[in-house]
Amino acid sequence: MDYLLATGLAVEIAVIHNFLWHERFTWADRPAAHRMQSLFRFAKFNATNGAVSILGNLVLMRLLVGKLKFNYIASNCFAIVACSLLNFLLGDRIVFDVSPVETGLAASRAAPDRGSRRNS
């Protein structure tokens, strides 16, 4: 298989896996309020992290392997690290950023209703 096609497919599979992992573990403290918010996050994740991962990896692989003739494994490792750092920032600041309204809704769902447990 061509190295650019293999890179593109591998990156998209990783993007989907990473979204599910991040939503469940990395940013579990920022849960989606409803299913549509999760789908919207997935769209933002693909648009930001997906674009950086696919374009960044393809451009870096084309440059490092195609033009400079570096080893494809070392080049792939470099591309993954470079894109991962940028992707983490995008995920934290854009995709899983919780607005004050969402934070209040999540907190009110998590906190027990203390008013109903008044001592007599």
Render pLDDT for 52-93 as a digit per residue (tens, 0 to 9). 988 998 899 999 999 999 999 999 999 999 999 999 999 999
Residues of the chain with pLDDT > 90: what percent? 61
* C-alpha 57 chain-centroid distance: 15
Tokens, residue 70: 């570096």
SS3 of residue 120 by DSSP: coil
For residue 66, which amino acid is it?
Answer: G
* C-alpha 62 chain-centroid distance: 24
Distance from C-alpha of 4 to C-alpha of 12, rounded to nearest angstrom: 12
Number of H-type helices and E-type strands within the chain: 5, 0
Q: Is the pLDDT of residue 105 over 60?
A: no
Q: Where are the domains of the chain?
A: 3-97
